[in-house]
Structure 1
Amino acid sequence: MSFARPSASVSSMQVGLHALGIGDGARPEIVRAVAEAAEAHGFARLWSGEHVVLVDAPASRYPYSADGRIAVPVDADWLDPFLTLSFAAAVTTTIGLATGVLLLPEHNPVVVAKQAATLDVLSGGRLTLGIGVGWSAEEFAALGVPFAHRGRRTAEYVAAMRTLWANDVASFDGEFVRFDAIRVNPKPARGRRIPVVVGGNSDAALRRVATLGDGWYGFNLPAAAVAERVTALAAECARQGRSPAEPTVAVALSDGSPDLLSDLAEIGVTELVVVEAPPATPEAATRWVADLADRWITPGR
C-alpha cells in the first residue's frame, strides 16, 4: 500500500525564510531590513528558532548535523523567537510568522498560550507555532526542567494550550499541568486556534506530527531523504486515521538547489524553508533577500 501524499505544483509551493534571531540576524536594523524585504519579495513566512541556553562543551548530541555539533557559535546573540517575530510583525503586514522551533517543554504552557495568542492578535493572525521537544540535556538542567519524558510533556502542553485558546473558562488535569476554571486572554485571531507545527526528523517526531500536529517542519534534511520522511509521515497519519494530506509539510534542506522544487512539490512538500544567515548591513541584507527570492521563488513562479 502506498502512503504518498498528493502532489502539488511548483507554483503552489510556498518558500519561507529562516534567517532571523542569531548573530547579525539578531540586530534590530537587520531584522527590520530582512522582514520588510522578505515580504516585498514574496516569501511566505519568516521563521525564528530558539535556544535559551548553549554550553561550551555539551555532552548532548545535536541531531541535525553529521558531527553532532550545532553550527551556531556558543557566544553568538540568540534572540527570543516571540520577541523577534513581534518586532518583525510590527514592520510588516502580510508575511507569515513562525517559531522554528520553540522548545515547548522548557516553558510554562499557560504562559506560552498567552504569548502566542498575543503575537497572533498583534500580527493579525499570522503566527504558526512551531514546536520541538529539545535535545540538550544541559539546557533543560539549567532551566530546572526534567529532560526525561519531554515528549509526553510536549503533547500534554499542546493539549493544554489548545484548551486555553478555545475556552473562555478553561480547566485541565494532566500529568504535568493542571489548572481549574481560569481565564487566559486574548484568544487567537483565527477561530481560537493557532496552527501547531512539530519540528524534528526522527520517527518519534513524525508520530507527534500525526497525533497532535497541524504540520511538520523537517530541518536540515538531505534532499535525498525528504521523500522517505514524507512517506513515513503519511504512514503515521494513516495509523492515526488522518488523511496524509492534512498536515502541512515544510522542509529546510542541508543541500540542494531550486532545480529540486518540482520534485519536492511532487512528493507533497508545501513549503521549502531557506535557512541562511543575513549580511551585516541593512542595505546588504535587503539586496541579499532579493537575490534569494530570485533564486528560490522566481523559478516556482
Structure 2
Amino acid sequence: MGLHALGIGNGARPEIVRAVAQAAEAHGFATLWAGEHVVLVDAPVSRYPYSDDGHIAVPADADWLDPLLVLSFAAAATERIALATGVLLLPEHNPLVVAKQAATLDVLSAGRVTLGVGIGWSADEFTALGVPFAGRGRRTEEYLAAMRTLWREDVAGFEGEFTRFSAVRVNPKPVRDRRIPVVMGGNGRAALRRAAEVADGWYGFSLSAAEAVDRVRALREHCAELDRPWDELTVAVALTDATPQTLPDLARAGVGEVVVVGEPPARPDEAERWVARLAGHWMASA
C-alpha cells in the first residue's frame, strides 16, 4: 500500500509532513507519494482529466509544495519508506536540473526514490512557465532519455529536439546502479504505451478498480507489441472506489501497489491516528 497525502493543504505543513511520514513508515506503508503543480489558476482553460466534472478539487489558493522538496523533508524524518513523485510534470522543467535534484534526493534517502513523471494537462500552467503545450509528450520522452544519460555517464552529451548539451558532468549519481526507477503517469492509451516503451512502470490516478484492471490489460498488450517483458514494469494505482476486498483481484491483474489518497487532519497527533486507522483498514488485506 502507498499513501498519497503529502504536499497539499494540511499535508503542506511541516509538522504534518513529519507526523504522516513517520506514522506511514511505522505502520507499514510501502511508499509516500507527492504530486505537482507549479501554478494553478482561478479560471482554467484546460479541463482536468481526473474528475467527471473536469475541475480539480484542490482550490487554486491552496498551499501546494514542490514534490521533490517535500519528499526530501519526509526522507529526513524516516529511514525505510520509499518516496515517489506522483507525478512530476517533466516537460515543464529543465531536465538537467531535475536529474540533479532527483539524484540528490536519491543519495540523501539512500536509494529510496521513484520518479513518477507525466506530460501535464494544464495549458494555463505551460503558458505561465513559457513552455509550449504542444509536443509535451515528445518533450517528456526526450527529457527522460537525457536524464538517464546524465545519471549513467560521467561526462555526458545529448543532442535532441528540445535539449542538447555536450561534455557536462552532473553529480551526484543515483545510488542503485546509476538509475532511478521512472514510472509514467496518465490514464490514456498514449500514456500507457509511453509507459511500456520508455518507463519502468505506470502510475494510474483516480480510476475505478474496473478501469484500473482494464488499463493494466492495455499496458500488457503494449508490452507484448513492443516485446517488452511484463515483469520489467511496476504498476501502482490510486483508485476512487477501492476496498480491501478488491485488492486480491487487482493483484491478480498485475497491480503491485494500491495508493490511498487523502488529506490528513490539521494536528500532528490526529494525523498519526489518521494514518494508523488507514493502516488498520488496509494492511491485513494488503
Unaligned runs of 5+ in 1: 1-14
Note if 1:223 corresponds to 2:206. Answer: no
Q: How does 1:196-211 map to 2 (within 5 A)?
A: 196-211=182-197
Residue 49 (structure 2) pairs with residue 63 (structure 1): yes
The residue matched to 1:216 in structure 2 has which SS? Answer: strand
- Equivalent of residue 134 in structure 1, options 103, 120, 125: 120
Runs of 5+ consecutive residues of structure 2 not aligned to the other structure: none
**Counterpart-to-counterpart distance in 2, 1:95 and 1:53:** 28
Aligned to 1:180: 166
Q: Which is worse superposed, 223-232 or 172-181?
A: 223-232
Q: Tell me, in whole angstroms, the C-alpha distance in 1 between the residues paired with 2:212 and 2:120.
A: 21
> In 1, distance between residues paired with 2:47 and 2:159?
34
Pairwise mapping of residues 11-160 of structure 1 onto structure 2 (< 5 A)? 15-160=1-146
Q: For 1:105-138, what per-residue CA distance to the aligned partner results, in whole angstroms no more than 9, with x for missing partners?
A: 0000000000000000000000000000000000
Question: Aligned ranges for residues 272-287 of structure 1 at < 5 Å?
Answer: 272-287=258-273
2:218 aligned with 1:232: yes
Q: Give how far 1:255 is off.
A: 1.2
SS for the counterpart of 1:46 is strand
Partners in 2 of 1:181 and 1:62 — Cα distance?
40
How far apart are 1:227 and its partner, in Å? 1.4
Q: Distance in 2 between matches of 1:298 and 1:42?
A: 11
Higher relative contact order structure (alpha carbons within 8 Å, sequence separation ≥ 6)? 1
Show CA shifts across 1:189-237 (max 9, x none): 1100000000010001001101111000000001121111111000111
More deviation in 122-131 or 255-264? Answer: 255-264
Match for residue 179 of structure 2?
A: 193
What RMSD over aligned residues (CA atoms) do the two structures have, in Å? Answer: 0.6
CA distance in 2, matches of 1:226, 1:100: 16
Give CA deviations for 1:70-98 in whole Å, capped at 9, x if unaligned. Answer: 01011100000010000000000000000
Percent identical:
72
Distance 1:288 1:23 in 2: 15
CA shift, 1:258, in A, is 0.8
TM-score under structure 1 normalisation? Answer: 0.94
Partner of 1:6: none
Give the secondary-structure state (helix, strand or coil) at the position aligned to 1:197.
strand
SS at match of 2:197: helix
Which secondary structure state, in structure 2, belongs to the residue aligned with residue 220 of structure 1?
A: strand
Aligned counterparts of 2:242 and 2:175: Cα–Cα separation in 1: 36
Equivalent residue in structure 2 for 1:241, among 227, 232, 235: 227
- 1:211 and 1:274 map into 2 onto residues whose CA distance is 27
Displacement of 1:299: 2.2
Are residues 1:260 and 2:246 paired?
yes
Mapped contact 1:55–1:74 kept (Cα < 8 A): yes
Q: Deviations over 1:2-46 (max 9, x none)?
A: xxxxxxxxxxxxx00000000000000000000000000000000
Does residue 169 of structure 1 match 2:155?
A: yes
Q: Which amino acid aligns with 2:224?
A: A
Supply the distance in 2 between the matched residues of 1:286 and 1:207 (Cα, whole angstroms): 39
Work out the CA distance in 2 between the residues paired with 1:55 and 1:125. 35
* Cα drift, residue 256 of structure 1: 2.3
Report SS of the residue matched to 2:148. Answer: helix
Say if 2:217 is the partner of 1:213.
no
List, as ranges, runs of 4+ consecutive aligned residues in structure 1 with deviation greater than 6 Å: none
Report how far residue 58 of structure 1 moved: 0.6
1:245 partner SS: helix
Task: Give the aligned partner of residue 289 of structure 1.
Answer: 275
Contact 1:235 1:244 in 2 (8 A): no
C-alpha displacement of 1:297: 1.2
Structure 1 residue 245: Cα displacement: 2.7
Aligned with 1:250: secondary structure?
A: strand
Give the distance between the partners of 1:299 and 1:257, measured in 2 at CA.
9
User: Offset of 1:168 from its aligned partner?
Assistant: 0.2
